Amino acid sequence: MKVEIDHKSGFCFGVVNAITKAEETLDKGGKLYCLGDIVHNGMEVKRLEAIGLITIDRETFFTLKNCQVLLRAHGEPPETYEYAKANNIELVDATCPVVLKLQQRVKKAFKEMEQKDGQIIIFGKKGHAEVTGLNGQTNNQSIIVEDEDDLQKVNPNKPAYLFSQTTKSLDQFHDLAGKIGQKSTEKLVVKDTICRQVANRVPRMREFATQHDILIFVGGKKSSNAKFLFDVCKKENPNSYFISSPEELNPEWFEGKESAGICGATSTPKWLMEKVAEKIQVTDSSHSNF
């Protein structure tokens, strides 16, 4: 069987930067906490925890003092920085530059809207780390829109800025902007803040999915980006399967298939896709079950 890994899949720049900072800091010795999963991929989190990274939640963070804490690519609200400063916590800030710029834009827009009794609307997943960081720039006064049902929270008679979580669907964002714009009686400023490293993967995934008899998508179960990109693949190739580790491969999927494509999300490490490819190839050559 021909097995091909999509060479454009895998970590985006923001994730690479965060993991590099974690590894470099751990190499120097000492204890390093990470506020939340460094990446939404359980296998990569386990790898880093094995070399010393300690993953903590927000509740635990606000009990710490005199230590080092890594901030992942998703970004953090102002309260995180304020607490760290007051409690002698050294922050290893790995916020993605794209997210950091977006935070600054949201903060500036919020100040403008405060003067005009306006609104900040963020298209994103409620509770997602990036959205929490963005909402923090508005003193948690943003209107978070996850789907059409949330549009009832938007006041069409007030001016508004519309931003997006960087990893959302470009098509869905423009569709949402159109629906809000149709009802607005005041000025709506639409800011397309979707990361092109993510958005540009959609046409690539569509193309790659059609090139193989079977598609294996490797991603973390917590990853919004993985779920979104897998859906793109599934629409193009019904023989697409989502797995988080090589152990989840099913031999029945490959019966009668001549080529297999392997791809992943912006949070999927290359080494994990390689392990999946290796398991498929070894099993195929030995004609045994997974």
Q: Which residues are annotated binding-site positions for [4Fe-4S] cluster?
A: 12, 96, 195
Binding site members for isopentenyl diphosphate: 40, 74, 128, 223-225, 267
Q: Of 130, 207, 255, 258, which residue is the catalytic one?
A: 130
Residue given tokens 């392997």 in the structure block: 262
Binding site members: 12, 40, 74, 96, 128, 166, 195, 223-225, 267
Residue 168 CA to chain centroid, in angstroms?
A: 9
Residue 142 CA to chain centroid, in angstroms?
A: 20
Q: Identify whether the C-beta of residue 78 lies closer than 8 Å to the C-beta of residue 86.
A: no
> 8 vs 27, 40, 96, CA distance in Å?
29, 18, 19
What does residue 71 show for φ and ψ, rounded to 5 degrees?
-100, 125
Cα torsion 7, 168, 49, 91: sign: positive
Report the distance separating Cα 167 and Cα 253, nearest Å. Answer: 30
Report the distance separating Cα 135 and Cα 145, nearest Å. Answer: 12
Beta-carbon-side half-sphere exposure of residue 10 (alpha carbons within 13 Å): 12
Catalytic annotation present for 90: no
Binding site members for dimethylallyl diphosphate: 40, 74, 128, 223-225, 267
| Structure token pair of residue 137 | 């720039």
Report the distance separating Cα 159 and Cα 139, nearest Å. Answer: 18
Residues labelled as active-site residues = 130
